[in-house]
Amino acid sequence: MKNYKIAVIAGDGIGPEVIGEGVKVLNKVAAMDSGFRFDFTYFPWGCEFYAKHGKMMDDNGIETLKEFDAIYLGAVGFPGVPDHISLWDLLLRIRKEFKQYVNIRPVQLLKGAKTSLVDVKREDINLLFIRENTEGEYAGAGEWLFKGQPNEVVLQNSVFSRKGTERIIRYAFETARKEGRSLTSISKANALNYSMVFWDQVFEEISAEYPDVETASYLVDAAAMLMVKDPKRFEVVVTSNLFGDILTDLGAAIAGGIGLAAGANINPERKYPSMFEPIHGSAPDIAGKGIANPLASIWSASQMLDFFGYESYGKQVLDAIEELLIESKILTPDMGGTASTSEVADRIIDLI
């Protein structure tokens, strides 16, 4: 029997509430198949840990995590710990150390999910974002000059290496080819006159290797507008770290809300563990109330199943989410219902 070792970093706020439900779903799936099981190990890292130890995770945290097949993450960040610390010391660190350079975020309106857009058909909202996840605007390079003085200047550099840019764009082309869908590149070469000119150039170069894949290219501002006005023109989308971050929050809003939006941080070479997480944050405003929507975490669990090669189980979980949405009876308050986090997950488990 295959035994998958999963590191669980439930994190802060609603993180533990939603991840706990995702774990139940994964266990349910494993119970249906005698060929594999999941072995979960919990790490108490996050802002509470920071309050006690002055750091978000153990010093040897990365070494420890290396031994796992995947990481299942809730959310990190809580009032009292500056966001840039909680993010850099844990989430971005894991993404970079484990070369999880692909962030896959489906912006897909599931059956039964409600969009905030008017006049669109459900099928029109079926985008697959492939976001660069380890460099670009989030490279962490910069300088703070003359701090606190009147002539203060702050520099925040973007880093687009040829290797980093080629590999994400190539991954996107491979995905588009495999799915038989078009690929859209989103950049901003008119204003970002180094980084995005380079990005567009690499996109052009690599597209020559994929004559069978239909391509399009948009400026990020236009893309934001078009995602609202005419989302059907996008299928597979490749974009930079920052643009992907912003556009997928917009994507969540048009595809059923932030409580439903899932993401996978993938190391395609599988040399290091990949990480699965809802795209939402720790939501301090609703933490501890038992009303957080667990569907985003459950969808990420479905992505994990796909990643391990159990696509039919992944689909079964996604089908269960759709069925729950169609029933429209057991939903958390963010989706207009009155159910609790665990009631939603329990129904998903029944439907599976």
Could you tell me which stretch among 188-196, 219-227, 290-298, 313-321 binds ligand ATP (CB under 6 A)?
290-298
For Mg ion, the closer of residues 20 and 281 by Cβ is 281
Query: For strand 126-132 and strand 236-239, is the pairing parallel, antiparallel, or unpaired?
Result: parallel
What CA–CA distances, in Å, run from 210 to 130, 201, 205, 288? 17, 15, 10, 49
The only residue of 22, 46, 77, 231 in contact with ligand ATP, by rule CB under 6 A:
77
For ligand ATP, the closer of residues 30 and 81 by Cβ is 81
Partner from Mg ion, ligand ATP, none binding residue 286, C-beta < 5-8 Å depending on class = ligand ATP
Segment (H or E) for 172 = helix 162-179
The C-alpha atoms of residue 349 and residue 352 are separated, in whole angstroms, by 5
For Mg ion, the closer of residues 284 and 290 by Cβ is 284
For ligand ATP, the closer of residues 84 and 270 by Cβ is 84
Within 324-343, which residues bind ligand ATP (CB under 6 A)? 332, 334
Q: What DSSP state is assigned to residue 235?
A: S
Does 259 help bind ligand ATP (rule: CB under 6 A)?
yes
Q: What DSSP state is assigned to residue 231?
A: G
| Bridge partners for 4 per DSSP | 38
The only residue of 281, 298, 325, 343 in contact with ligand ATP, by rule CB under 6 A:
281
Does 7 help bind ligand ATP (rule: CB under 6 A)?
no
Does 258 help bind ligand ATP (rule: CB under 6 A)?
yes
Paired tokens of 126: 């079926």
For Mg ion, the closer of residues 276 and 310 by Cβ is 276
Residues that bind ligand ATP (CB under 6 A): 14, 18, 75, 77, 83, 258-259, 280-283, 285-286, 292-293, 296, 332, 334
